[in-house]
Amino acid sequence: MPLSATRARPGRDRASLYTEITGKIIAELEAGRVPWVQPWGGPDVCAGLGLPQNAATQRRYSGINILILWGAVTGRGFSSQNWLTFRQALSLGGNVRKGERGTTVVYADRFTPEEERRRAESDGGVACAIPFLKRFTVFNIDQCEGLPDEVTALAPPPPEGLILPQAEALIAATGADFRIGGARAFYNSTRDFVQAPPPQAYFEPVNWHRTAFHELGHWSGAASRLGRDLSGSFGSKNYAREELVAEMAGAFVCASLGITPTVRHSDYIGSWLGVLREDDRAIVRAASAASKAADYLLAFQPGYAEPVDADAAVSGRDAA
């Protein structure tokens, strides 16, 4: 497998990449696994909590790359959420072990050909940008050797409690009208408030956090915030798409805060599968929207720096 990052050819390669990613997610759902929930908690996986990040730059991956890398951690039993390119491992004084197979992540962007720029200047019109995907090969630090201790150190286990302090602080910092009580969790878009049952109502109180940030994921999509389409009624495709976004957003926030809820909403898997089978780009769009929702919520933390996708920050030469 070549280790260099290459620009996918327009059309066929881009379409095949979407199909490849979607096929993997569908296979996970069909097997009863939800790839964006607790990928670190299985008996064969001991990876530290958190979103995957580039071990050299400390930049977190976002969007579909979170699912790709969480899937690799789950499927291959890695003990870390930290990743490096081949050249980055060398730059840190280590190396990728011989025979290791990397994981492909993607970076989506647009570029405007020079001919199109000149045409737009001449005609006074708008230049059309062409979308493209770059593939990058990264390696989990478990696949490397000779790395410095500060790169390979694992995060300490998170504290336990009903409403964990870091979650309580973030919810308060958002300024959302967040109400605790009643027997069900929901976001009321008309009156712009979130409601969730108290933590003690859950068989496992830690799962309250999953619900809380799921509903705040919906809250982030209001027109005055991220402006997602929240108009779908129960059972509709729009509803399923938004539930998919909120589910992943809640998982991403929990991971960032070091919280380990278990799987929820297994009853939605059928509707998610319907959306994914119909549109092989749906999971990519949903993961991107979920990352934006999670970033929106996490940005309320003091000193929070919005992540830059690590693959976007690595040049094609460095990815080789």
In terms of Cα–Cα distance, which of 195, 163, 201 is closest to 177?
A: 195
pLDDT at 250: 92
Is pLDDT above 60 for 314?
no
Average pLDDT over residues 67-92: 89
Q: Which of 146-150, 208-212, 256-260, 274-278 has the lowest mean pLDDT?
A: 274-278
Among the residue ranges 8-17, 41-50, 250-259, 276-285, the one predicted with the least confidence is 41-50
Lowest-pLDDT choice from 83-97, 146-160, 193-207: 146-160
Residue 281 has pLDDT above 90, yes or no: no
How does DSSP assign 249-282, residue by residue? Answer: HHHHHHHHHT-------GGGHHHHHHHHHH-TTH
Q: What is the pLDDT of residue 80?
A: 86
Mean pLDDT of the region 143-160: 78
pLDDT at 320 exceeding the cut of 50: no
Q: Give pLDDT, residue 5.
A: 35
Q: What is the mean pLDDT of residues 143-158?
A: 80
Which own/partner pairs from 305-309 qualify as long-range (CB within 8 Å, at least 24 positions apart)?
307/51, 307/59, 307/60, 307/61, 307/62, 308/59, 309/59, 309/60, 309/61, 309/62, 309/63, 309/65, 309/107
What mean pLDDT value characterizes the chain?
80
Reported for 269-276, long-range contacts at CB under 8 A and 24+ positions apart, including other chains, are: 269/29, 269/32, 269/34, 271/235, 271/239, 271/240, 271/243, 272/29, 272/240, 272/243, 272/244, 273/26, 273/29, 273/30, 274/237, 274/240, 275/237, 275/240, 275/241, 275/244, 276/22, 276/25, 276/26, 276/29
Give the pLDDT confidence score for residue 154 in this predicted structure: 64
Annotated domain spans of the chain: 6-156+306-312, 165-298
pLDDT value of position 189? 94
- Taking the whole predicted model, whether its pTM rises above 0.85 is answered as no
> Tell me: the pLDDT tens digits for 11-68?
556 667 778 888 878 887 877 767 666 444 444 444 555 789 999 998 999 888 988 8
Q: How confident is the model at residue 100 (pLDDT cuts 50, 70, 90)?
A: very high
Residue 75 has pLDDT above 70, yes or no: yes
Arithmetic mean of pLDDT, 219-231: 96
Residue 292 has pLDDT above 70, yes or no: yes
Q: What is the pLDDT of residue 234?
A: 82
- Taking only the tens place, the pLDDT of each residue in 114-132 is 888 888 788 878 878 877 7
- pLDDT in the model for residue 99: 94
